[in-house]
Amino acid sequence: MTRNIGRLHVLTDTVLQSRFSHVELAEMAIAGGADVIQFRQKQGSTRELIAIAKQMKRACAHRGAAFVVNDRIDVAMAAQADGVHLGQDDFPIPLARELLGKETIIGGSAASLEEARKCLREGADYVGFGPVFPTGSKDDAGPVSGIETLKRVAEAVPIPIIAIGGIGLENASAVIKGGAHGIAVISAVCCQKDPRQAAQALGEILWPALSRQTHA
Residues 77-95 pLDDT 10s:
999 999 999 999 999 999 9
User: Among residues 63, 97, 118, 138, which one is catalytic?
Assistant: 138
How far is Cα of residue 179 from the mean position of the Cα atoms in its chain? 16
Per the annotation, the verdict on 109 as an active-site residue is yes
- The per-residue pLDDT for range 17-74, each reduced to its tens digit, is 999 999 999 999 999 999 999 999 999 999 999 999 999 999 999 999 999 999 999 9
C-beta atoms surrounding 71 within 10 Å: 19
Q: Which of 7, 72, 109, 187 is catalytic?
A: 109
Domain 2-215, what fold?
TIM Barrel (3.20.20)
Catalytic status, residue 40: yes
Percent of the chain with pLDDT over 70: 95
Closest CA to 143 of 134, 154, 155: 134
Instruction: Tell the burial category of 204 from Cβ atoms under 10 Å away from its Cβ (0-12, 13-18, 19+).
Output: middle
Contact (Cβ atoms closer than 8 angstroms) between residue 102 and residue 139: no
